[in-house]
Structure 1
């Protein structure tokens, strides 16, 4: 299956680099291997179909993080909706791009075994609202900041500059 591995002494930048390398290899393969399933589901599920895609692409990332001793700090609230085994819709923003190439940025705060935050991984996911399509590979960014307000400001700065 898909392989990705982390070491406990990695910086958030190194973690992000590993995730970007994994995504670069598997984003298109996952899309192509399941395209018929996604196209069939899209008329009924619409945008939720992208959750199906991320549920196939991302679990190896979050499983490997966990196996390596990392935890994702999630302030889980009633009604939160997770996809890909680690992306929380409440910890995302979607404001950028045309209907055929929208950008939704998710963020995940990652901590070590002692629950000390290592940093924040941003997952910039491009998708279409005009029909099912993932027009570009997801882009990974990393931040040292782990507080919501600073994360939101950083996302806006990245996307609007």
Structure 2
């Protein structure tokens, strides 16, 4: 698997570009490599099966970020559900698209070595509610905003324009 090349001194935009490059290279391969297991799990687990998929796809990204001195600022609460080693389900919205191509946007605030927020990564994940399918490659966006209300407003602006 391709290593994600994060390093200190990268701009936040470069971090997003590296993440998009990795996701573009591996979203379909990850889906194909584990398709049988996902299809088998879907009747019982339904949408939670997409968490299994993201648990296969995303850990190398968040591990590389951490190894490069960046952190995800999570403010975890009791009952939070984490996916792919860096996405908190509570930090997501889903309300766009048809049943066979829904869009759920996750966000992760990223901090530097001093744990100072440097920006927010948006992870736009397309999936089906009609059966297990990831019809499109996830899209990565970067935001300067790091406050929840501003992140939510930016997500709505991106998805609704």
- Give TM class, smaller chain: over 0.9
SS in 2 for 1:34: helix
- Provide the C-alpha distance between the structure 2 equivalents of 1:14 and 1:146, rounded to a whole number of angstroms: 17
Q: Does 1:33 align with 2:33?
A: yes
2:57 aligned residue:
57
**SS of the residue 1:43 aligns to:** helix
1:1-161 → structure 2 map (5 Å cutoff): 1-161=1-161
1:3 is displaced (CA, Å) by 1.2
How far residue 2 of structure 1 moved from its aligned partner, in angstroms, is 3.8
Superposition CA RMSD, Å: 0.6
Distance in 2 (alpha carbons) for counterparts of 1:50 and 1:3: 23
Q: TM-score, normalised by structure 1?
A: 0.99
Q: CA deviation at 1:50?
A: 0.2
Q: How many residue pairs are counted as aligned between the two chains? A: 161
Deviation at 1:75, TM superposition (A): 0.9
**Within 1, Cα distance between the matches of 2:130 and 2:43?**
11
**Gaps (5+ residues) in structure 1?**
none
Q: TM-score, normalised by structure 2?
A: 0.99
For structure 2, the residue ranges without an aligned partner over 5 or more in a row are none
CA distance in 1, matches of 2:63, 2:5: 9
The list of structure 1 runs, each at least 4 consecutive aligned residues, that deviate by more than 4 angstroms after superposition, is none
